[in-house]
């Protein structure tokens, strides 16, 4: 029996020896029933300590590859099943794997694969020095010291209930803190029992879709709209009905009389930036009553409003219990936290909680506890006030830079709130080629086309985020963009 040890830095010698013997057995070089060398002899021939060989044998005895007969030595197990042996060298070519496993997919899996794949659409690291990507907050502004202190406080003496499994809907302290915040700041009418803590508002959309939609059910979506929402409703079998938006939000008069669900972004239509008018809000609630439908209000970035008074949520106007309200901490704090919340009518709560349990039981308790303290002790709203100023300055720098370098050649819309704007630039030729030329100059901009399904915007319209780029970056980025536009005429 020849045993050769591979050189694997960091792997203990007994493990390497066990692996070498196991490989020899599986390759068929060491036959079932074959006697292994005495430990002392093998240790001497491999220049190993005898204990190392003993440990390796013990490991393989425990795994069932070896058997020991008292007084007569250690043997390769005589009864290893044939299928455990690998083909002896030279190996036969592996059977080619099936080209597709579509036949193994459920109809849900198939719809995910065939769908719009928002994962690909929305993924992607910022690579350009002047990156105007939508959706990321100013990561460097996150109050890491406060968060660290609160985390330490939670971890110093963690109560037992933070270490085991927890309540599916979330920690009571966080649900209370959020309910109070949403009542005060967003005009949401709810009790803490209606709040479910979720892994980002994307999960709220998925839970709502799963408990409300049967394949073929009508789902009214704003046009244009957030593709992450469209994809989740389509994946759940919803029949997506796009309804155009104008400056006052979704055109309720164009909505079908029956649908299971309508998804809207009333505070800041995504991506156009329109604010839904009071009349439309009331019409929409009336439509839901008549259609026996549920409305999902995605309040993803309403905390950042720069002009006029804060707008109350649509949910606060709902007397009939037809609105599911969702919000996220991805825009105010960090996307990486994966923390969001949904407020549902009490009657839907059992289905939502049950589905949440089936999916992932609950959100990580330690983060929930830290966030509850962060809100209760005033850090959250302090940070919010600060970030409003930071983003307002960035927004103004962006608008001023467009004014200075583009004048009438560009129109910037959707500026009153949020973290992005829509920009239309005239006379630049093919938009994708322009995006590439901008990228070559270090400026990352993104077409708004992917947000439209009915009538994509004519010419070149871009969605430009300004929240994760510094003032200097904004000024220089727009200057460079203007130079690219000038050369593109
Ligand atoms: C309109 C809208 N809704 C929902 C989300 C989902 O956010 P999250 O899952 O990070 O809470 C996003 C993310 O960009 C968004 O833009």
Per-residue pLDDT tens for 87-132? 555 555 556 777 888 899 999 999 998 886 555 555 555 678 999 9
Q: Which of 377, 402, 420 is the last residue of a domain?
A: 377
Q: Looking at residue 27, what is its pLDDT? A: 86
Is residue 236 over pLDDT 60?
yes
**Do the Cβ atoms of 53 and 17 come closer than 8 Å?**
yes
Q: pLDDT tens across 12-34, in order?
A: 999 999 999 998 998 888 899 99
Say whether the peptide bond before residue 35 is cis (omega within 30 degrees of 0): no
Nearest CA to ligand 1 atom 13: 135
Tell whether 93 is covered by a domain: no
**Ligand 1 atom index nearest CA of 335:** 10
**Residue with token string 């203007």:** 482
Do residue 362 and residue 389 come from a single domain?
no
Q: Looking at residue 359, what is its pLDDT? A: 97
**Ligand 1, CB cutoff 6 Å, lining residues:** 135, 200-202, 226, 228, 265, 270, 298, 300, 328, 330, 335, 340
Tell whether 212 is covered by a domain: yes
Is residue 349 over pLDDT 80?
yes
Strand-pair partners of 223: 244
Tokens representing residue 68 in the block: 């020991």
CB count in 10 Å sphere of residue 184? 10
In the reported structure, the alpha carbon of residue 318 is separated from the centroid of ligand 1 by a whole-number distance in angstroms of 23
Sign of CA dihedral 154, 160, 163, 168: negative
Tell whether 100 is covered by a domain: no
In the chain, the percentage of residues whose pLDDT exceeds 90 is 81
Provide the residue range defining the domain that includes 37: 13-84
In the reported structure, the alpha carbon of residue 332 is separated from the centroid of ligand 1 by a whole-number distance in angstroms of 12
Do residue 479 and residue 354 come from a single domain?
no
Q: Looking at residue 450, what is its pLDDT? A: 87
Do residue 350 and residue 386 come from a single domain?
no
**Average of pLDDT values for 353-376?**
98
Q: Looking at residue 92, what is its pLDDT? A: 55
Q: Looking at residue 113, what is its pLDDT? A: 87
pLDDT band per the 50, 70, 90 thresholds, residue 145 = very high
Nearest CA to ligand 1 atom 3: 300
Do residue 168 and residue 293 come from a single domain?
yes
Tokens representing residue 378 in the block: 């005033």
Please state, in angstroms and rounded to a whole number, the distance separating the CA atoms of residues 287 and 297. Answer: 14
**Do the Cβ atoms of 227 and 211 come closer than 8 Å?**
no
Is residue 217 over pLDDT 70?
yes
Q: pLDDT tens across 328-338, in order?
A: 999 999 999 99
Is residue 177 over pLDDT 90?
yes
Do residue 364 and residue 450 come from a single domain?
no
- Mean residue pLDDT across the chain: 92
CA distances from 270 to 195, 288, 352 (A): 24, 21, 25
**Average of pLDDT values for 430-444?**
94
The CATH number of the domain holding residue 80 is 1.10.10.10
In the reported structure, the alpha carbon of residue 52 is separated from the centroid of ligand 1 by a whole-number distance in angstroms of 55
**Ligand 1 atom index nearest CA of 328:** 11
Do residue 420 and residue 459 come from a single domain?
yes
Do residue 164 and residue 237 come from a single domain?
yes
Tell whether 103 is covered by a domain: no
Q: Looking at residue 80, what is its pLDDT? A: 79
Tell whether 123 is covered by a domain: no
In the reported structure, the alpha carbon of residue 470 is separated from the centroid of ligand 1 by a whole-number distance in angstroms of 22
Of the candidates 337, 260, 265, the residue with the CA atom closest to the CA atom of residue 301: 265
Please state, in angstroms and rounded to a whole number, the distance separating the CA atoms of residues 328 and 297. Answer: 12
**Do the Cβ atoms of 188 and 316 come closer than 8 Å?**
yes
Tell whether 422 is covered by a domain: yes
In the reported structure, the alpha carbon of residue 19 is separated from the centroid of ligand 1 by a whole-number distance in angstroms of 48
In the reported structure, the alpha carbon of residue 263 is separated from the centroid of ligand 1 by a whole-number distance in angstroms of 13
**Average of pLDDT values for 309-322?**
92
DSSP 151-219: HHHHHHS--GGGTS---TT--HHHHHHHHHHHHHHH-----GGGEEEESSHHHHHHHHHHHH--TT-EE
Q: Tell me which of 199, 203, 226, 301 to substitute to probe ligand 1's pocket, judged by most ligand atoms within 8 Å of the beta carbon.
A: 226
Q: Looking at residue 287, what is its pLDDT? A: 98
**Ligand 1 atom index nearest CA of 329:** 11
Q: Which of 360, 377, 394 is the last residue of a domain?
A: 377
Do residue 197 and residue 331 come from a single domain?
yes
Do residue 156 and residue 262 come from a single domain?
yes
In the reported structure, the alpha carbon of residue 202 is separated from the centroid of ligand 1 by a whole-number distance in angstroms of 6
CA geometry: angle 348, 338, 162, nearest 5 deg: 80
Q: Looking at residue 126, what is its pLDDT? A: 60
244-278 CB burial, b ≥16 within 10 A, e <16:
ebeebbbebeebeeebbbbbbbbbbbbbbbbbbee
Tell whether 104 is covered by a domain: no
Do residue 294 and residue 234 come from a single domain?
yes
**Average of pLDDT values for 347-352?**
98
| Chain Cα centroid distance, residue 175 | 21
Tell whether 129 is covered by a domain: no
Number of domains in the chain: 3
Of the candidates 335, 349, 485, 358, the residue with the CA atom closest to the CA atom of residue 425: 485
**Ligand 1 atom index nearest CA of 202:** 9
Q: Looking at residue 93, what is its pLDDT? A: 59
Is residue 409 over pLDDT 80?
yes
In the reported structure, the alpha carbon of residue 146 is separated from the centroid of ligand 1 by a whole-number distance in angstroms of 25
Do residue 346 and residue 368 come from a single domain?
yes
Helix %, strand %, coil % for the chain, to 5?
45, 15, 40
In the reported structure, the alpha carbon of residue 227 is separated from the centroid of ligand 1 by a whole-number distance in angstroms of 10
pLDDT band per the 50, 70, 90 thresholds, residue 265 = very high
Nearest CA to ligand 1 atom 14: 135
**Residue with token string 């849900």:** 108
Of the candidates 264, 245, 295, the residue with the CA atom closest to the CA atom of residue 413: 245
Helix (H, G, I), strand (E, B) or coil at 465: strand
The CATH number of the domain holding residue 343 is 3.40.640.10
Is residue 278 over pLDDT 60?
yes
Tokens representing residue 285 in the block: 């609630």
The CATH number of the domain holding residue 431 is 3.90.1150.10
Phi/psi of residue 17, nearest 5 degrees: -65, -45
Nearest CA to ligand 1 atom 2: 300
Q: Which of 325, 344, 377 is the last residue of a domain?
A: 377
**Ligand 1 atom index nearest CA of 270:** 1
Helix (H, G, I), strand (E, B) or coil at 221: strand
Q: pLDDT tens across 36-92, in order?
A: 999 999 999 999 999 999 999 999 999 899 999 888 899 999 887 766 666 555 555
Out of 67-71, 180-184, 233-237, 341-345, least confident range: 67-71
Helix (H, G, I), strand (E, B) or coil at 296: strand
**Ligand 1 atom index nearest CA of 122:** 14
Do residue 282 and residue 173 come from a single domain?
yes
Using CA atoms of 318, 184, 419, 243 in order, give the dihedral in degrees to the nearest 10.
Answer: 0
């Amino acid at each position: 029996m020849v045993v050769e040890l591979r050189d694997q830095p960091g792997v203990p010698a007994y493990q390497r020896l066990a692996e070498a013997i196991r490989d020899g057995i599986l390759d068929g070089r060491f036959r079932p029933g074959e006697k292994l060398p005495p430990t002392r002899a093998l240790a001497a021939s491999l220049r190993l300590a005898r204990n190392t060989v003993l440990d390796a044998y013990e490991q393989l005895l425990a795994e069932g590859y070896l058997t020991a007969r008292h007084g007569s030595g250690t043997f390769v197990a005589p009864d290893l099943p044939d299928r455990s042996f690998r083909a002896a060298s030279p190996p036969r070519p592996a059977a080619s794997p099936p080209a597709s496993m579509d036949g193994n997919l459920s109809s849900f899996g198939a719809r995910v694969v065939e769908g719009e794949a928002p994962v690909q659409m929305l993924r992607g690291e910022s690579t350009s020095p002047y990156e105007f990507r939508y959706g990321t907050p100013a990561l460097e502004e996150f109050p890491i010291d406060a968060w660290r202190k609160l985390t330490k406080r939670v971890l110093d003496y963690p109560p037992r209930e933070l270490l085991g499994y927890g309540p599916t809907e979330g920690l009571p302290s966080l649900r209370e803190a959020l309910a109070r915040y949403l009542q005060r700041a967003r005009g949401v009418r709810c009790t803490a029992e209606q709040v479910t803590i979720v892994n980002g508002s994307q999960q709220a959309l998925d839970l709502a879709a799963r408990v409300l939609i049967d394949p073929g059910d009508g789902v009214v979506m704003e046009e244009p709209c957030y593709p992450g929402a469209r994809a989740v409703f389509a994946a759940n079998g919803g029949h997506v009905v796009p309804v155009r938006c104008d400056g006052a939000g979704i055109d309720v008069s164009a909505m079908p009389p029956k649908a299971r669900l309508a998804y809207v972004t009333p505070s800041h239509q995504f991506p156009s930036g329109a604010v839904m008018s009071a009349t439309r809000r009331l019409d929409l609630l009336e439509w839901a009553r008549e259609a026996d439908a549920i409305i999902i209000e995605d309040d993803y970035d309403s905390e950042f409003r720069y002009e006029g008074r804060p707008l109350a949520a649509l949910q606060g106007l709902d007397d009939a219990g037809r609105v599911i309200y969702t919000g996220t901490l991805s825009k105010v704090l960090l996307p990486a936290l994966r923390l969001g919340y949904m407020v549902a009518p009490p009657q839907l709560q059992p289905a939502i909680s049950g589905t949440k349990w089936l999916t992932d039981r609950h959100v990580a308790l330690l983060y929930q506890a830290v966030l509850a303290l962060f809100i209760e002790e005033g850090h959250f709203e302090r940070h919010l006030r600060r970030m409003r100023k930071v983003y307002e300055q960035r927004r103004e720098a962006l608008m001023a830079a467009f004014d200075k370098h583009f004048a009438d050649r560009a129109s910037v819309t959707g500026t009153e709130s949020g973290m992005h704007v829509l920009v239309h630039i005239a006379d630049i030729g093919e938009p994708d080629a322009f995006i590439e030329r901008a990228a070559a100059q270090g400026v990352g901009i993104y077409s708004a086309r992917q947000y439209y399904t009915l009538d994509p915007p004519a010419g070149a319209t871009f969605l430009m985020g300004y929240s994760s780029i510094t003032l200097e970056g904004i000024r220089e980025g727009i200057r460079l963009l203007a130079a690219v536009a000038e050369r593109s005429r």
